[in-house]
Amino acid sequence: MEYHQSSEMNGVVSDYLNMRIESTHNDLCKEKESKEAEESKKRSLIEKSYSTILSELGEDVGREGLLRTPLRAAKAMQFLTKGYKETTQDILNDAIFDENHEEMVIVKDIELFSLCEHHLVPFFGKAHIAYLPNKKVVGLSKLARIVEIYSRRLQVQERLTKQIASAISEALEPAGVAVVIEAVHMCMVMRGVQKMNASTVTSVMLGKFHDDFKTRKEFLALTMRK
């Protein structure tokens, strides 16, 4: 009798757990479908805007070469600005580890591509990142992911540099963070002054990198040498 009751109880618990799992799965599917529908609606509006721009420029949006250009441009713009939908918390949750390491960690030559918020044309280059661990280290690829999150937005290089440094500082609470970005801006190359060989270097130094000249010098020597 006791065994029979126990079996029935196990069956009830199992049915309840399966019901909860199915309900959670359905909720996640609905949330995903809702997000996809929202993105599709936004893409459609951007597509119409690109079609208007092309028409106002004097183009025939009905000719073969431009039939799908507004849609392609809309998809491209959504990809190039996908960083608005991403956060550092999303990518760092399972990638921060306790480690008794206090020496400088450097990841250099991280390629980046972004859009200038003033003219919506690209700027691109490389980021060099260093931090001084305070009993915590992060997976090295995550530093590149942080660069990707903030560069895939409409940006100015000065703010991009600061956002990357601040994000690392807030996530790891290290003794110091240093970020240097070297980039070429197409708004200076393709238009305006049209200076083909001009590049822009920005830096942000936090903590010990800001306060200690020797630490800052070591970082710059290791990252800026060719």
Q: Which one of 78, 101, 119, 210 is the catalytic residue?
A: 119
Token pair of 74 as six digits: 């809309």
Q: Which one of 22, 102, 118, 173 is the catalytic residue?
A: 118
Q: Which one of 117, 158, 170, 173 is the catalytic residue?
A: 117
117 classed as catalytic: yes
187 classed as catalytic: yes
Token pair of 25 as six digits: 């799965």
Specify the pairing of strand 154-155 against strand 105-116. parallel
DSSP string, 154-184: EE-HHHHHHHHHHHHHHHH--SEEEEEEEEE
78 classed as catalytic: no
* Residue 180 φ then ψ, to 5°: -125, 135
116 classed as catalytic: yes
Q: Which one of 116, 148, 155, 163 is the catalytic residue?
A: 116
Token pair of 223 as six digits: 């990252």
89 classed as catalytic: no
4 classed as catalytic: no
Q: Which one of 59, 187, 210, 218 is the catalytic residue?
A: 187
Q: Is 58 left (phi over 0), alpha (psi -120 to 50) or beta?
A: left
The catalytic residue positions are 116-119, 157, 185, 187
